[in-house]
Amino acid sequence: MAARYLPTPAFSHLFRRHLRLVLGGTSALALALSAGCATETVCSFDGDDVSEEDAVPWYCDGGTRYVLSELGPSEDMGDGSMCADASYVAKTTAGAPCAVRPLPPGVVDGRPLMVDGDARIAPVQRGGGWVVADGLQPLEAIERRFLGERWLRAAQYEHASVASFARFTLDLMRFGAPPELLAAAQNAGLDEVRHAELSFALAARFLGETTEAGALDLGGSLDLAADLPSFAAEVFVEGCVGETLAAVRAAERRAVATDSQTQDVLDVLVRDEGAHAELAWRTVAWAIEVGGEPVRSAVLKASQGVRQALGGAEAGPEGRLDALREFGVLAPQREAAALVRAWDLVIAPALDGL
């Protein structure tokens, strides 16, 4: 059943070209291009300026909505500024409840562990089992809390990615995938362990306390794909789209980051998430080669509507976030524009190539 020839999708070339556009000469680019590609001239993209609406005080990131412009009379981290689920949301003076705005399908840190349409993560608890280094950064309390909770949420998604790749490996074996894909899937799971450790470490650095992942609820997550077309469609959304955009988002953040520890972590994420995205494209190409038109049709159907979902970021207080650019924080409309560009310049052409 399994073909032994694995075609190289157009994605690899398109993705590396896009990284040159985003990163220029940073170390992240050198890591991502370490496989060695011929240099080429790339036209610059004059589209960085995105209109903002200062009157809208929301900042959406990773599916969580932050309110940075209305923190109450004291403008500090007073009582009630943390949601019950530990995701940071500074509430308005009216005491508005925590609000969540989901990101487009699959756009989380790492590879999502999807169960019934939701990305599942483990709770966090006090402990240092997932922290390899720590240290406090002298920032304002609210800035430190914002950065810490941001990386803590990333750590939860990276932790869940280990399970996602385990399920991905089982599906590959069910459908008779070649050993190259199985080996790459296993290695990707190990990458996610390291990503979780690095993210927990940065969270500890900013929060001033160590946390670790608790038990991950796997109920319903062990259901494997019903057939090869369904599997290919899931891989396209979670891997080809999700991890491509995760890699590009990390690259955009790396391009502005000047803090050395943040740079080091983002360097790893750009390299590894890009490799994981390439694995997803190779898997979809293999599935189409094996399964033919039914698989191709399922992938194309899964791609419908994804592009439109990428443009839904709300404007936020960009001036307030500029102070955190050195730590890789970008205003939401800039990140949204980057995801749209990645779709148009990388994902859509690679999809056509299938």
Q: What is the DSSP string of 175-205?
A: TT--HHHHHHHHHHHHHHHHHHHHHHHHHHH
Give the domain ranges of the chain: 11-38+105-353
CA dihedral of 50, 338, 35, 133, whole degrees rounded to 10: 90
Residue 140, sorted as left (phi over 0), alpha (psi -120 to 50) or beta, turns out to be beta
pTM score: 0.71
pLDDT of residue 107: 54
pLDDT of residue 254: 95
Average pLDDT, the chain: 75
7-16 mean pLDDT:
79
Q: Specify the fold of 11-38+105-353.
A: Ferritin (1.20.1260)
Please give the Cα distance from 302 to 104 (Å, whole number). 13
Q: Quick check: helix, strand or coil at residue 128? A: coil
Q: Which amino acid is at 275?
A: A
Least confident of 124-128, 262-266, 345-349: 124-128
Please give the Cα distance from 182 to 188 (Å, whole number). 10
pLDDT of residue 283: 97
pLDDT of residue 131: 56
pLDDT at 86 over 90: no
